[in-house]
Amino acid sequence: MERLNLSDGKIKVFKLKTFLILLLFCLLPSLALIFLSYQIKILRVGELLGKYPVIFNNLSDFNIGSIENQIKNLQSSFQKRFTEISKANLEIKKQLLDIYKSNYFLNYFSELCSSIPNKVFLKEMVYDGTRLRIEFYEYGLETKVSTSTVYERLSKVYQNVSVQLVEEKTFFSNTKYFHYVVEGMK
C-alpha cells in the first residue's frame, strides 16, 4: 500500500547546485587520500633526509631511475676512501710503535738508574734496530736490581728478553759490584 502510485511518473531531476555538491561529496574521499599520501611522502622523505644527509648532499640528480646507480657509485667511493684511510691509519700506528720501541729501553734504563740508590756504571749499550744489548755494573752493599721486574717490563715491548747477573764480586771492604747483561729483540 505504501508504494501505490497512480501518477504518470515524474522524471527525477537534480539542480546544478545539488549535483555539484553531490559531486564534491563523491570526490572528497579520493581527494583526501591523495592529500594524505602526499603528506606521508613528504614525511618519509624528511625522515630519510634526516637519516642519510651525506647521501642526499652528494646526489646531483633526483631522477628515480638514476638514484640507485648514484647511490652505488657513492657507496663504492666511500668504501674506497674507507680502505685508504684505514690503511694510512695502520701505517701511522706501525710507525708510532716502531718509534716507541726504539726509545723504550733508554727511558726504562734511566728510570731504573734513578729509582735505585746504588750507583750504576753503563759499560755498553748497543741497539742496531732489531737487537738490543745493555751491559752495566751496579755498585753497592747488595743488589737493588730485581731481574724479574726488569724482565717483566722489557718483555712487554721486546721479544726474547734475557736479564742475567753475570758476576758478583767484592770490590772494596763490603762494597760489591754486580755485572748485569740485558738482551732482547725488537
Instruction: Note whether 26 binds other proteins by CB under 8 A.
Output: no
- Helix (H) or strand (E) run with residue 129 in it: none
Instruction: Note whether 13 binds other proteins by CB under 8 A.
Output: yes
- Tracing cell 642519510 back to the chain, one arrives at 52
Instruction: Note whether 42 binds other proteins by CB under 8 A.
Output: no
Instruction: Note whether 14 binds other proteins by CB under 8 A.
Output: yes
Q: Which is nearer to other proteins, 19 or 56 (CB)?
A: 19
Instruction: Note whether 7 binds other proteins by CB under 8 A.
Output: yes
Applying CB under 8 A, the span of 20-28, 73-81, 90-98, 107-115 interacting with other proteins comes to 20-28
Instruction: Note whether 27 binds other proteins by CB under 8 A.
Output: no
Applying CB under 8 A, the span of 5-13, 78-86, 97-105, 175-183 interacting with other proteins comes to 5-13
Min dist. Cβ of residue 29 to other proteins (A)? 16
Name which of 169, 172, 170, 152 is nearest 161 in CA terms.
152
Q: Report yes or no: 118 and 144 within 8 Å, Cβ to Cβ.
A: yes
Name which of 38, 70, 177, 44 is nearest 120 in CA terms.
177
Instruction: Note whether 5 binds other proteins by CB under 8 A.
Output: yes
Q: For the purposes of burial, counting CB atoms within 10 Å of the CB of 121, is it exposed (0-12), middle (13-18) or buried (19 or more)? A: exposed
Instruction: Note whether 21 binds other proteins by CB under 8 A.
Output: yes
Q: Which is nearer to other proteins, 10 or 51 (CB)?
A: 10
Number of CB atoms found within 10 A of residue 2's CB: 4
Side chain identity at residue 145, one-letter code: V
- Helix (H) or strand (E) run with residue 87 in it: helix 64-115
Instruction: Note whether 51 binds other proteins by CB under 8 A.
Output: no
Residue 183 phi/psi, 5-degree rounding, is -130, 155
Instruction: Note whether 18 binds other proteins by CB under 8 A.
Output: yes
Instruction: Note whether 20 binds other proteins by CB under 8 A.
Output: no
Instruction: Note whether 23 binds other proteins by CB under 8 A.
Output: no
Number of CB atoms found within 10 A of residue 132's CB: 23
Positions touching other proteins (CB under 8 A) are 1-10, 13-15, 18, 21-22, 25
